[in-house]
Structure 1
Amino acid sequence: MDMKRAILSLAFLFAAALTHAQLTLDECRRSAQENYPLVRRYGLIEKAREYDLSNAGKGYLPQFSLSGKATYQSDITQLPVEIPGVDIKTAPKDQYQVMLELQQTIWDGGDIRARKRLTRAASDVELEQQNVDMYALNDRVNQIFFGILLLDEQLKQNGLLQDDLKRTHKQVSDYIANGIASQSDLDAVSVELLNTRQHRIELEASRRAYMNMLSAFIGKEIPGSVSLQKPALEEMESAGVNNRPELRLFDARNEQLRVQEATLNARLMPRFGLFVQGAYGNPGLNMLKDEFNAYYMAGVRMVWNFGSLYTLKNDRRRIDNSRREIETGREVFLFNTRLQETGQHAGIVSMRRQMEDDDEIIRLRGNIRRAAEAKVENGTLTVTDMLREITNENLARQTKALHEVQLLMNLCQLKYTLNN
């Protein structure tokens, strides 16, 4: 396993190098699915199915049984007549028997076939439940992936703000030399620059924590040179068709109930089989012979058990009740999914509308910032007011970047909700 994981890690790093050291969302989700410990349950489910089917099929094999008994009885069979001069022996009151019996099923009323179908149906339910559990992993990877993208955008805007503040620091230094600004103005710029650097340290620490979580999920160490590739908008578009694995789980459970109902009918059928008995005991088949003898018996046996008729009606009612519970669960799931889809659609529309004005806001904030710099140079505006406009322009750029990532995240969440 360690060697396999090492090979996969090397392949992962090689693929990352070929793609300009960028890691996509689909690659992360695939790796997380392969690395998650629960993935091993797929093989366990398949093995359990094979074992159960094999065991059910062995019901057609000959069945051997060995039995023995020793008894003492209060009376024995006697002839009601006496023949002069003839000693008629009778069986002893203490009797012994050892028997080996072979049974071969001819027809079991469809019970073995029903058990095989029930095994497959139960295995399908387990498999679909496994798919549901594994699908939920995608949402956790999505949250971490877009959290890192958002931090990357914030770090990018933080770098731009530091560049602006450094440029402003040089300008204010020149203003001091020209008598336009004072040392306190330069100190104010320095404080803003230090605050921005501190914020960057916080953002970088958060990004490292998120990257460590992503590495744990995908089971591979992500080098610092590897960045996350932002998904394209067209890749996030989804059709309005619900294809969640939970729906297939509901179908599998309904099929399991249908097979269980068919199994009830098989329990009502008679069973036919062959048998051969070989025994040694006293008495043998001749009950009037007081000695140990070996004997055998062969024939055809029919067994028809009517006991299941007592519970048949309640068993069917229980299955119908379970079927209604499944349908109720399906309706609740679809209702909640439609609510999520409606809210996510509204969020996507709102985000698109907000993004329409982001570029214009940034352009206007840039004009205001440049006007503030000119006023400071002319001595009609304080450096503090100019810093506020620089911060406002940076916030406008951050808001645009935030909207872009949030739109992608909302689209991705809608794809997860519908599994498109």
Structure 2
Amino acid sequence: MKKVAFIITLAFICTHTSIYGQLSIEDCYKKAQTNYPLVKQYGLIEQSKDYNLSNADKGYLPQVSFSAKATYQSAITKLPITLPNVSIKGVNKDQYQSVVEVNQNVWDGGIIRNQKKITEASSAVDKQKLDVDMYAINDRVNQIFFGILLLDEQIKQNVLLQDELKRSYNQVSSYVTNGIANQADLDAVKVNQLSTAQRKVELEATRKAYMEMLAAMIGEPIKENDHLIKPSTAESSSLQTTINRPELQLFEAQNKLFETQKSIIDAKNMPKLGVFVQGGYGNPGLNMLKNEFTPYYIAGARLTWNFGSLYTKKDDKKLLDNNQQNIAVQKETFLFNTNLKMTQQSNEIDKIKQLMRDDDEIIRLRTNIKKASEVKVEHGTLSVTDLLRDINSEDQAKQSKVLHEIQLLISIYNYKNSTNN
């Protein structure tokens, strides 16, 4: 019997969970990040980095080249002597040559090594730029998520107001029967009921639109009865002032890229050493006096040192220093603006908290006023119009409390979004 009860309970829980799903704002952050089309660029950036690194590594492989030429020249080399009974035939004026050359880099001054470092640094910059763009999604999620929470609270309050107006309608209806009120008073209550019902239709339509927007953001269907978990305002006590925004990592990655680019400037001014082998076939070959097609080969080492880049080395480094200073200014400006925004948001949180201290008292007083008005209407000393005004004032006080609670949550999460904590 106990096993049967346990199975029934478990089935109920599973069914209940599947019908009424729950979503926290953290869940929405993660799902929105995964679903956003821009996330595909992470894979593309990684692939581009791998291709560039692979191409750089190929610089260590032997480089093979082939060339061929045919020429006709106006004069040829001749010996300025004659020997008795000896005929020295010169080479033809038309000459032919084909050469295959294999070059092997021995030391390039560190160019390939630094090219790979630049590839890594550039990829890191691209990823951090993408992180910055992706982080902006959180702010959009905040607006939609808390917008839905506010609408949920407003719909709840609207239902309570409709119940209150229904009770008032029944009371005024009895007053009309007893001659205390007239039909116009009853019509006034009915108008308020209809207006409140219309307001509920507007709120539910807006909520449906917001839910569809949230579903599109996270890439999952959301049922009408799915529940959004309302965060606790207690988290405001743990707000931190440390800024961990992805923009800071972007500035750091850009600065590292410029430092790496300085290294390749030095590498370009270093000598290069390599070995080579040439294999050729032509007429003439290496023996210029042999007038026939012959094969030949040449092997050796080659040292090159280009001094032309020394002219611009100093200015190239100054240009990179200037770029780094520009990044430092951007970082300083970002921190200044972020700290300013955090100050404004912190003050907004404190202001809302102060407003919320009096919300319950205002509601209590408005409720007392409404109840007193009901008694006065019952005794014929107050009009139904005045009663409706007090009912609406009580509802407005409750709406203000709901609004302040959601505004506080929005302000807290805006602050957390500014710091990424």
TM-score after normalising by structure 1: 0.94
Amino acid in the other structure paired with 1:165? L
1:195-210 equivalence runs, <5 A: 195-210=195-210
Amino acid in the other structure paired with 1:337? T
Task: Show the counterpart of 1:389.
Answer: 390
Task: Show the counterpart of 2:312.
Answer: 311
1:287 maps to 2:288: yes
1:280 positional shift: 0.3
Shift in alpha-carbon separation, 1:224–1:332, aligned structure 2, 3 A: same
1:220 maps to 2:210: no
Q: What secondary structure is seen at the aligned counterpart in 2 of 1:305?
A: coil
Amino acid in the other structure paired with 1:368? I
CA contact (8 A) 1:29 1:138 kept: yes
Structure 2, unmatched stretches of 5+, are: 1-13
1:269 maps to 2:266: no
Q: Following TM superposition, where does structure 1 have runs of at least 4 consecutive aligned residues deviating by more than 4 angstroms?
A: none
Distance 1:162 1:77 in 2: 114
Q: What secondary structure is seen at the aligned counterpart in 2 of 1:224?
A: coil
Task: Show the counterpart of 1:181.
Answer: 181
Q: What secondary structure is seen at the aligned counterpart in 1 of 2:251?
A: helix
Deviations 1:11-64 (A, max 9, x none): xxx899279522110111111111111111111111111111111011101111
CA contact (8 A) 1:16 1:22 kept: no
Amino acid in the other structure paired with 1:291? E
1:76 positional shift: 2.4
Distance 2:214 2:15 in 1: 17
State the identity as a percent. 55
CA contact (8 A) 2:20 2:225 kept: no
Amino acid in the other structure paired with 1:218? I
1:20-419 equivalence runs, <5 A: 21-235=21-235, 237-419=238-420
CA contact (8 A) 2:104 2:275 kept: yes
Structure 1, unmatched stretches of 5+, are: 1-13
Amino acid in the other structure paired with 1:390? I
Distance 1:271 1:92 in 2: 38
Task: Show the counterpart of 1:5.
Answer: none
Distance 1:116 1:63 in 2: 19
Distance 2:15 2:63 in 1: 58
Deviations 1:296-348 (A, max 9, x none): 01111112122212322221222122112211111111111111101100100
Amino acid in the other structure paired with 1:370? K
Q: What secondary structure is seen at the aligned counterpart in 2 of 1:86?
A: coil
Distance 1:220 1:288 in 2: 84
Task: Show the counterpart of 1:7.
Answer: none
Q: What secondary structure is seen at the aligned counterpart in 2 of 1:400?
A: helix
Shift in alpha-carbon separation, 1:45–1:342, aligned structure 2, 3 A: same
Q: What secondary structure is seen at the aligned counterpart in 2 of 1:290?
A: coil
Amino acid in the other structure paired with 2:288? M
Amino acid in the other structure paired with 2:375? A
Distance 1:381 1:370 in 2: 12
Deviations 1:389-417 (A, max 9, x none): 00000000000010000001000000000
More divergent stretch after superposition (300-309 vs 34-43): 300-309
More divergent stretch after superposition (308-317 vs 194-203): 308-317
Distance 1:193 1:60 in 2: 83
Distance 1:359 1:67 in 2: 92
Shift in alpha-carbon separation, 1:127–1:15, aligned structure 2, 3 A: farther
Amino acid in the other structure paired with 2:301? V
CA contact (8 A) 1:16 1:23 kept: no
Q: What secondary structure is seen at the aligned counterpart in 1 of 2:376?
A: helix
Distance 1:231 1:419 in 2: 17
1:81 positional shift: 2.1
CA contact (8 A) 1:16 1:226 kept: no
Distance 1:300 1:103 in 2: 9
CA contact (8 A) 1:358 1:400 kept: yes
1:91 positional shift: 2.5
Distance 1:367 1:44 in 2: 65
Distance 2:231 2:35 in 1: 23
CA contact (8 A) 2:108 2:273 kept: yes
CA contact (8 A) 1:23 1:227 kept: yes
Q: What secondary structure is seen at the aligned counterpart in 1 of 2:78?
A: coil
